Amino acid sequence: MKALIKLLVSVFLLVDFIPLNAEDGYRLWLRYDLVSNPEILEYYRETITGYMISDDSPTCKVAETELQNALTGLLGRSLPSVSVAGNGTIVAGTPETSSLIAEMYSENKLQEAGDEGYFIENTRHNGINFIVIAAKNDIGVLYGVFHLLRMIQMNQNLDNLSVMSSTKMKVRILNHWDMLPMGERGFTGNTIWKWNELPGKLDPRYTDYARANASIGINGTVLTNVNADVRLLTPEYMEKVAALADVFRPYGVRVYLAAKVTAPMEIGKLNTADPLDKDVIAWWKKTADELYKYIPDFGGFVVKANSEGQPGPLDYNRTHADGANLLADAVAPHGGIIMWRAFVYDNKVPEDRIKQPFNEFMPFDGKFRKNVILQVKNGPLDFQPREPFHPLFGAMPETPLMPEFQILQEYFGFTTHLTFLAPSYEECLKADTYCMGEGSLVAKVIDGTITDYPITGMAGVSNIGADRNWTGHIFGQSNWYAFGRLAWDPYMSSEEIAEEWVRMTFTNDEDVVGRISGFMVESREIAVNYRTPLGLHHIMYAGTHYGPGPWFDRDPRDPRPDWTSVYYHRADEKGVGFNRSSSGSNAVAQYFSPVRELFDKVEICPENLLLWFHHVSWDHKLKSGRTLWDEMCLRYNEGVEGIREIQTEWDRLKPFLDAERYENVRERLVKQVRDARIWKDACIVYFQTFSKKAIPEGVEPPEHNLEWYKAHRYTDIPGLFGAP
Ligand code: BDP
């Protein structure tokens, strides 16, 4: 009888806690399902008996709700909120609101974790053992709660907790490239913001968006595209933006907007946008004052100026510093900042395009206001599958720089391809600029270790759209996750991040974790190989940026050579690649020594950047002993093989995965394998018209001829229809 009751109870428990939500990906990495290992579950049930969060600030309230919901799910029972701590209580708070924490932590001690950091420790106080989450401010309490929950989600032991987590990165921000109402060019599908419902109706997704961001430490968001829409600066939209800001505020997520330099003309009806004009100055000040009435903690503006047709101060013979400082002065009284983008290039300047940002900004080091930070893409061109790090990092010690990474997969197959991007972020962050000698990593430049910047930060171009699972591809979520984790701690490794994400998103089964995180970490190199091996770049189909288009040349009506593929690969009968060495455009000179020499000399240039910096003969011998042509073909082939292996592995993992998410990925992998093959074959048959060499052994022969690839159009890719 006893056994029967026991069985019934456990069945009841199970039934009770089978997730009500379908596995549609909505819950991201915050799934909070019952801990599946019975021993570990038992351990947590014994270790955690209740919680106490005595602060009732909005942020601590959401921390409490999160803790309560999560523990109910993970432990399969709802835990009491207690007013007196006993053994196994989680005590979370700040010294202002928790007398226990005030007794245990001095201000100095808490300051070690900084304004947003926290401690998580096992503490014995007055004979009682509890888990404490202590922070200087309530946002640290929320972050600490998410940290502890992550540990439980990952089934970690809580016996000897001594966590101190802090960040040097102040602005950890998403940039949505959303137009009203579409996401840019379909990279992420439709926008998540329902402008026509705001401010009256608030989609519950907005709260979950803020929760998810807070869980990885993201503390800011630019709601719309850098190609800015001036409507956002009208009272009608300010009210809508304010409604979103109200939802995000408890989660520590501040709202920022993209500003257009000509807004004073377009909305303000002035006849100039000259940054030194007094009416223009007054207009921005008035607009900023008004914005802050709606949103008292408004973060500031991001600006794309004099780039790709956007207006800017140069149109008025002023400098980027004049333009940025104008806006900086308008928001400074309210504590706002300006993120001025360094992604600029001009078709009228007859310079190698990748040299232009450095040339335009470096001379202005130290000329920007204290509340300006320059936002610099990870590489000097444009989020290519592989680029060298941007030479501005380290070159502007008097001007804060923040890297801009692309989370959305503009050049990585949109929402259709599986590519875990942490390795590409990591490659940039761990690149050694040598600006202060060896060890001057980009991460150390941007977090202020080397440069002592007054503002620090990291921006990520968001891949969040209106899809139920947020990012279209389930694995797109991992890039959002990775960005947040690296923005908090730019020294984390891709392996660590992948493992965390898999454990929280799928399972703690060791074997499965190893297999999924293993292929995630490889997936970026695979994507580089089937698209642009050995330093090739910008050979995608112009306009869509999805499929290959190495043949894309200048349309006689289009004056921009730097939007073509041939401008970048420069293939001819002798060889391929862009000579940026000292005998070519000399872009290498923008780097510090010895990076400059490393990139400059073909013999020592890293092979994965070879064709970025050099025009190399088809017969050039590589380290493998193979010729450039053979190696290029083999790398393309490896890329296709690599993605096929991921596909096979995914199929093998089916028994360990839920049907819905398995299928989301399976169906996309079929397309990815097909597209990888198209990339490989198209590029090989195209470059073969120059090399005139046979395709080496071991390379799968191309399926079609060049004309077929040129004529090919996709009809089944979200964001593209009947487009290349
Ligand atoms: C490029 C995109 C373009 C963006 C631009 C930018 O193709 O549409 O607006 O970057 O970063 O990658 O401003």
**Secondary structure tally for the chain: helices H, strands E:** 23, 15
CA dist 144 and 137 (Å) reads: 11
**H or E element, residue 483:** helix 476-488
Residue 519 burial (CB < 10 Å; 0-12/13-18/19+)? buried
Say if residue 594 is preceded by a cis peptide, omega within 30 of 0.
Answer: yes
The pLDDT value given to residue 556: 67
Tens of pLDDT, residue by residue over 681-724, are: 999 999 999 999 999 999 999 999 999 999 999 999 998 877 88
Secondary structure of 342-354 in HEC code, one letter for each residue: CCCCCCCCCCCHH
Is the backbone of residue 311 left (phi > 0), alpha (psi -120 to 50) or beta?
beta
What percent of the chain is predicted at pLDDT more than 90? 91
Cα distances from 690 to residues 259, 551, 569, 629, in angstroms, run 45, 11, 12, 10
pLDDT over 80 (residue 14): no
How long is the chain?
724
Tens of pLDDT, residue by residue over 442-455, are: 999 999 999 999 99
Alpha carbon nearest to ligand 1 atom 1, residue: 382
| Residue with the two structure tokens 């360990």 | 656
Alpha carbon nearest to ligand 1 atom 11, residue: 343
Q: Which residue has the higher pLDDT, 126 or 155?
A: 155
- The sign of the CA dihedral 388, 392, 395, 396 is negative
The answer to whether 570 and 577 are in contact (CB under 8 A) is yes
Write b or e for each residue in 678-694: b if 16 or more Cβ atoms lie within 10 A of its Cβ, otherwise e: bbbbbbbbbbbebbeee
Catalytic residue among 410, 427, 500, 675: 410
* Chain Cα centroid distance, residue 367: 29
Secondary structure of 371-394 in HEC code, one letter for each residue: CEEEEEECCCCCCCCCCCCCCCCC
The pLDDT value given to residue 560: 83
How far is ligand 1, taken at its centre, from the CA of residue 308, in Å?
8
Atom of ligand 1 lying closest to residue 307 CA? 13
pTM: 0.96
CA dist 324 and 313 (Å) reads: 9
Complete DSSP assignment for 646-676: HHHHHHHTGGGS-HHHHHHHHHHHHHHHHHH
CA dist 177 and 273 (Å) reads: 24
CA dist 675 and 716 (Å) reads: 11
The answer to whether 207 and 138 are in contact (CB under 8 A) is no
Our mutation pick for probing the ligand 1 site, out of 177, 185, 308, 560, counting the most ligand atoms within 8 A of Cβ, is 308
Tens of pLDDT, residue by residue over 390-434, are: 999 999 999 999 999 999 999 999 999 999 999 999 999 999 999
Secondary structure of 400-434 in HEC code, one letter for each residue: CEEEEEECCCCCCCCCCCCCCCHHHHHHHHCCECC
Cβ–ligand 1 contact at 383 (below 6 Å):
yes
Q: At what angle are helices 494-505 and 510-531 packed, to 10 degrees? A: 120
Q: At what angle are helices 204-215 and 235-248 packed, to 10 degrees? A: 60
The answer to whether 383 and 377 are in contact (CB under 8 A) is yes
The pLDDT value given to residue 724: 80
Tens of pLDDT, residue by residue over 422-437, are: 999 999 999 999 999 9
How far is ligand 1, taken at its centre, from the CA of residue 436, in Å?
32
As a whole number, mean pLDDT of residues 572-588 equals 98
| DSSP designation for 475 | T
Our mutation pick for probing the ligand 1 site, out of 187, 410, 538, counting the most ligand atoms within 8 A of Cβ, is 410
